[in-house]
């Protein structure tokens, strides 16, 4: 893009335009294994108006636009693979309104979950879903790329907690979704008027518009937290227990749940507790983070242990003491994963599946381990209200293995589809496989052509 | 004239961090993160007060060094501009969940730039000031010990400790230097000082700005003066001086040149807790009920030669609590406290940004509603005092505060 056109469009605003090579280095990629891009410029924006101006300049110059918050996601959505301009929304970090009457908070996309939780916490409130990278992760980034984490067993997906959006469309028009479509009405009901347009932008990785405001439901901050780890003989027993507990709403006070491989359990427990018999380790552990009224939590705890016993499972305290309870109180929770992050990079393939599929998912992780032994593989599940997310984690040495790691991760994506795991975070990681989704993908392409005929918004994401 | 560029071969000192370059998980914790329970709210003072461009952050230093290591060529001036805008506070390293060392990398890149003659003029001025006057700000060397005029130290049985006040105390917070000697004397600690013409900058600003050869020269001169004093135990008020004496000298001089050095508050905490130093509130100048603690990054964050392991934030609060003062925030806030901009060469290289950092710090401390701001670091205290915008909350050194509001009874 002509330097002058961006500068002219943004004259008199507080936007910061970065074009020095050194300033662009951090905008080439996100945390994924995906290929990096090479942007021509970065604009740090502070308002929706500034975004409209950048969009106008980009449209006139036929240059693509990519969007970025913290750049901490694992699917390549922020990577500017076709160059162009990166819009960094992190300076749009105002908490616009906490509306207690309507039970929601309106934020700009650059607000981090850490900041929002701090502010809401003072009022005894919280939001439903907080990604594992929440201290630094932006709300806009999480919503645009299908975040998950704390709150998923109770509220399912980040998208389910969105009451409405304000979005700048590729033609520069401002769209407000749900009840806010009526001028002056504001956000209070997502499913208003007609079809749910909010959903078009959730997990869309910026391909259909730039989110400039988000309304999220708020909830009372639970007064009490404790953890419980259940152990089962194998994945199948764990899956049967989980499905039953989900159906009967036994996870009503569970804010986070994670399923751990036998290898992960054995490695951690046997290192810390060599006195324990290695043969008595569970084949699968489900760590649960319970929050709520202390009496309700205590009752749920007993009920869950009792229910687990019907599937030949039970409480497995050593793993909870050694690992799970500590991690649930640590703000660097995710990055503490077995210490691997300090030695290597991580490719993360995030999927969704019905609970019954999880044994096959763990078997696939074992298969990947055997097929691609140059990398360290791990698998884990994150509990949802219904179904689970499955995370295939592959650690690699980026200095020497990056292209090989990309190939191995792509192979794993194809294998995951074959066993019925569907991608949750698509970005560019799963883009080559989008044609596997048939008419869904065709409909998405039709929408893209209608919204963004020049394909300027985040091209390559979701293969759009 | 062609613009100077640098590429991978330029990295020498920074090579020790090569693994870091390829392990950054891009979590962004070193850029912007908040976690209320841990006292983490904002991370990088340079991003907040100097430039919002990520190239000025820990993540930026990692990306810049990696680009160079991967064979890219970058403008030397832009690289220098970025790495010399770091306060070296180390908050990015505290926030990094996997223990990467971006602030140390920035310091190493500074050293590489200096070695290649690519340091900005303002950086070189620090060295020339120290060479000509013995202090980084170029203030008259003859005035270094003006604060000690008429001061009596009890050396009846021979001194136990050599007291090195440090440049910041001598020039920026002379009341702290004077109060420290008075308090130590009241506590029965026998201290001696160097002759004014032999005391000089320990080299800390040089080590922090990558001017290692000049730093070594300062270290050698000061060590010689210490040896000549006949005393092997040193007390210093300067948090940065403490890092030089305990860490830089063993790292950059000979391994056996580390000095047994302490901050006076270690001794004072001991003397107060064992009732060997009794302090009574002055009726004519009663202490405020609440005191806001300005924690020095050198004394509370890793990356400063292990000083944080001594637990200075706790010791300072213990002293004030023993005197009946309520201290805010509690010591857990020290780990992630945002830097005031005093150190790392910031106040010499980017004085306007350093002042903004100080003003931000003053505002956050004033919000705590305390009657005074206190720091165990004369550099931080004097920087805040200098940067004040007319606010009424006084800024004290720790000993200065004690002597202003308490009477010592041995």
- For an interface test with A, give the residue of B6, B26, B31, B64 to mutate (most A CBs within 10 A): B26
What residues of chain A lie within 8 A of the CB of B79, using their CB? 22
Instruction: Note the pLDDT tens digit of each residue in A283-319.
Output: 999 999 999 999 999 999 999 999 999 999 999 999 9
Size of interface A-B (CB pairs under 8 A): 117
- For an interface test with B, give the residue of A15, A17, A19, A22 to mutate (most B CBs within 10 A): A22
Instruction: Note the pLDDT tens digit of each residue in B309-357.
Output: 999 999 999 999 999 999 999 999 999 999 999 999 999 999 999 999 9
**Confidence band (pLDDT; 50, 70, 90) for A343?**
confident
Q: Which of B31, B64, B75 sits opposite A25 (nearest CB)?
A: B64
Instruction: Please judge whether B74 and A21 are an interchain contact, meaning their C-beta atoms are less than 8 angstroms apart.
Output: yes
Percent of chain A at pLDDT > 70 equals 98
- Could you tell me if B26 lies within 8 Å of chain A, comparing CB atoms? yes
CA distance B375 to B361: 12
CA distance A415 to A372: 13
CA distances from B251 to B90, B248, B297 (A): 18, 5, 20
Q: Which of B66, B74, B97 sits opposite A332 (nearest CB)?
A: B97
What residues of chain B lie within 8 A of the CB of A344, using their CB? 23
Domain boundaries, chain B: 5-119, 133-267, 275-409
Q: State the pLDDT at residue A278.
A: 79
Q: State the pLDDT at residue A2.
A: 58
Q: Report whether B242 contacts B312 (CB < 8 A).
A: no
What residues of chain A lie within 8 A of the CB of B97, using their CB? 331-332, 334-336, 341
What angle in degrees, to the nearest 10, is found between the helix axes of B312-322 and B398-405? 0
CA distance A347 to A398: 10
Q: Between β-strands B290-293 and B326-328, what pairing exists: parallel, antiparallel or unpaired?
A: parallel
CA distance A388 to A361: 11
Q: Let me know if domain B5-119 sits in CATH 1.10.1060.10.
A: yes
Topology given in CATH for the domain delimited by A338-425: GMP Synthetase; Chain A, domain 3 (3.30.300)
Below-70 pLDDT ranges, chain B: 1-2, 153-156, 255-258, 410
CA-wise closest residue to A106 among A162, A154, A150: A162
Residues A202-210, mean pLDDT to the nearest whole number: 98
Pick the residue from chain B with its C-alpha nearest to A110.
B32
Instruction: Please judge whether A344 and B23 are an interchain contact, meaning their C-beta atoms are less than 8 angstroms apart.
Output: yes
Instruction: Note the pLDDT tens digit of each residue in A40-77.
Output: 999 999 999 999 999 999 999 999 999 999 999 999 99
Domain boundaries, chain A: 3-90, 95-220, 225-329, 338-425
CATH match for B133-267 among 3.40.50, 1.10.10, 1.10.287, 2.60.120: 3.40.50
**Confidence band (pLDDT; 50, 70, 90) for A1?**
low
- Could you tell me if A459 lies within 8 Å of chain B, comparing CB atoms? no
DSSP annotation of A138: B
- CB-based contacts of B111: which residues, under 8 Å, 6+ apart? B12, B13, B14, B210, B211, B212
The architecture of the domain spanning A3-90 is 2-Layer Sandwich (3.30)
CA-wise closest residue to A121 among A11, A49, A225, A45: A225
Instruction: Indicate the CATH number for domain A225-329.
Output: 3.30.70.3450
CA-wise closest residue to A405 among A395, A415, A414, A413: A395
Instruction: Please judge whether B36 and A117 are an interchain contact, meaning their C-beta atoms are less than 8 angstroms apart.
Output: yes
Q: Which of A20, A121, A345 sits opposite B25 (nearest CB)?
A: A345
Instruction: Note the pLDDT tens digit of each residue in B182-207.
Output: 999 999 999 999 998 999 999 999 99
Topology given in CATH for the domain delimited by B275-409: Rossmann fold (3.40.50)
CATH match for A95-220 among 3.90.1150.10, 3.30.465.10, 3.40.50.300, 3.30.360.10: 3.30.465.10
Domain B5-119 identical in fold to domain B275-409: no
pTM above 0.90, yes or no: yes
Could you list the beta-strand ranges (E) of B319-371.
326-328
**Confidence band (pLDDT; 50, 70, 90) for A328?**
confident
CA distance A388 to A356: 9
What residues of chain A lie within 8 A of the CB of B74, using their CB? 21-22
What residues of chain A lie within 8 A of the CB of B57, using their CB? 26
Task: Tell me the average pLDDT of chain A.
Answer: 95
Could you list the beta-strand ranges (E) of A194-247.
210-220, 225-232
Give how far A181 is from chain B: nearest CA, Å.
33
CA distance B215 to B194: 20
Domain A95-220 identical in fold to domain A225-329: no
């Amino acid at each position: 893009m002509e330097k002058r056109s961006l500068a002219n469009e943004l004259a008199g605003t507080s936007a910061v335009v970065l074009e020095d090579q050194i300033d662009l280095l951090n905008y080439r990629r996100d945390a994924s294994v995906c290929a990096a891009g090479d942007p021509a410029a970065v604009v740090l924006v502070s308002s929706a108006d500034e975004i409209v101006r950048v969009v106008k300049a980009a449209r006139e110059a036929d240059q693509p636009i990519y969007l970025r918050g913290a750049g901490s996601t694992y699917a390549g959505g922020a990577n500017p693979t076709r160059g162009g301009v990166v819009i960094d929304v992190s300076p749009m970090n105002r908490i616009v309104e906490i509306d207690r009457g309507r039970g929601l908070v309106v934020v700009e996309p650059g607000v981090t979950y850490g900041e929002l939780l701090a502010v809401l916490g003072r009022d005894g409130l919280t939001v439903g879903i907080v990604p594992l990278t929440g201290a630094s992760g932006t709300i806009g980034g999480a919503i645009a790329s299908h975040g998950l984490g704390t709150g998923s067993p109770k509220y399912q997906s980040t998208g389910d907690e969105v009451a409405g959006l304000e979005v700048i469309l590729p033609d520069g028009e401002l769209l407000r979704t749900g009840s806010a479509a009526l001028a002056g009405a504001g956000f209070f009901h997502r499913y208003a008027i007609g079809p749910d347009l909010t959903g078009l932008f959730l997990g869309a990785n910026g391909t259909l518009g730039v989110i400039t405001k988000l309304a999220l439901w708020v909830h009372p901050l639970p007064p009490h937290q404790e953890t419980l780890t259940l152990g089962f003989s194998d994945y199948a027993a764990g899956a049967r227990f989980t499905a039953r507990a989900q159906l009967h709403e036994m996870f009503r006070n569970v804010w986070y749940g994670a399923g751990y491989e036998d290898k992960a359990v054995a490695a951690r427990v046997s290192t810390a507790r060599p006195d324990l018999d290695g043969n008595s380790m569970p084949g699968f552990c489900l760590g649960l983070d319970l929050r709520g009224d202390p009496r309700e939590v205590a009752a749920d705890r007993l009920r869950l242990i009792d229910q687990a016993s019907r599937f030949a499972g039970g409480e497995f305290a050593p793993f909870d003491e050694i690992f799970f309870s500590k991690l649930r109180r640590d703000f660097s929770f995710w990055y503490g994963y077995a210490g691997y992050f300090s030695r290597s990079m991580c490719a993360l393939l995030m999927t969704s599946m019905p609970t019954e599929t999880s044994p096959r998912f763990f078997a696939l992780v074992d298969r990947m381990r055997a097929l691609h032994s140059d990398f360290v593989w791990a698998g884990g599940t994150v509990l949802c209200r219904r179904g689970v997310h499955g995370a295939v984690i592959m650690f690699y040495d980026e200095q020497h293995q990056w292209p090989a790691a990309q190939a191995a991760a792509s192979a794993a994506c194809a294998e995951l589809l074959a066993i019925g795991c569907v991608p949750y975070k698509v970005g560019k990681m799963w883009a080559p496989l989008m044609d596997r989704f048939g008419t869904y993908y065709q409909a998405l392409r039709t929408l893209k052509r209608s919204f963004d005929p020049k394909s300027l918004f985040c091209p390559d994401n979701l293969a759009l | 004239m062609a613009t100077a560029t640098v590429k991978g071969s330029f990295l020498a000192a920074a090579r020790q961090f090569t693994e870091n370059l390829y392990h950054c998980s891009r979590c962004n914790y070193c850029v912007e993160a908040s976690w209320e329970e841990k006292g983490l709210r904002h991370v990088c003072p340079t991003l907040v007060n100097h430039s919002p461009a990520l190239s000025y952050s820990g993540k930026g230093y990692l990306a810049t060094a990696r680009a160079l290591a991967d064979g890219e060529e970058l403008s030397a001036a832009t690289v220098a501009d970025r790495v010399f805008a770091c306060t070296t506070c180390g908050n990015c390293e505290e926030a990094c969940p996997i223990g990467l060392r971006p602030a140390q990398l920035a310091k190493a890149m500074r050293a590489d730039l200096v070695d290649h003659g690519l340091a900005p003029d303002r950086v070189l001025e620090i060295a020339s000031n120290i060479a000509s006057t013995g202090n980084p700000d170029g203030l008259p060397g003859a005035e270094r010990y003006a604060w000690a005029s008429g001061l009596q130290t009890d050396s009846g049985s021979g001194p136990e400790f050599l007291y090195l006040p440090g440049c910041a105390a001598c020039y920026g917070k002379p009341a702290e230097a004077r109060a420290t000697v008075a308090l130590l004397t009241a506590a029965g600690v026998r201290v001696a000082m160097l002759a004014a013409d032999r005391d000089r900058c320990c080299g800390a600003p040089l080590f922090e700005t990558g001017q290692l050869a000049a730093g070594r020269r300062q270290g050698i001169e000061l060590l010689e003066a210490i040896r000549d004093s006949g005393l092997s135990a040193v007390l210093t008020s300067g948090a940065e001086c403490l890092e030089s004496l305990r860490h830089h000298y063993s790292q950059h001089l000979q391994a056996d040149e580390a000095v047994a050095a302490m901050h006076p508050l270690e001794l004072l905490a001991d003397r107060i807790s064992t009732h060997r130093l009794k302090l009574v509130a002055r009726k004519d100048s009663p202490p405020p009920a609440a005191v806001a603690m300005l924690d020095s990054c050198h004394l509370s964050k890793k990356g400063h030669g292990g000083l944080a392991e001594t637990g200075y934030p706790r010791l300072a609060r213990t002293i004030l609590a023993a005197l009946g003062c309520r201290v805010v925030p509690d010591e857990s806030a020290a780990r992630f406290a945002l830097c005031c901009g005093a150190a790392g060469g910031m106040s010499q290289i980017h004085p306007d940004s350093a002042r903004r950092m100080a003003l931000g710090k003053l505002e956050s401390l004033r919000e705590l509603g305390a009657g005074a701001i206190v720091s165990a670091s004369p550099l931080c205290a004097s920087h805040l005092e200098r940067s004040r915008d007319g606010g009424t909350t006084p800024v004290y050194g720790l000993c200065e505060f004690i002597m202003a509001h308490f009477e010592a009874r041995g």
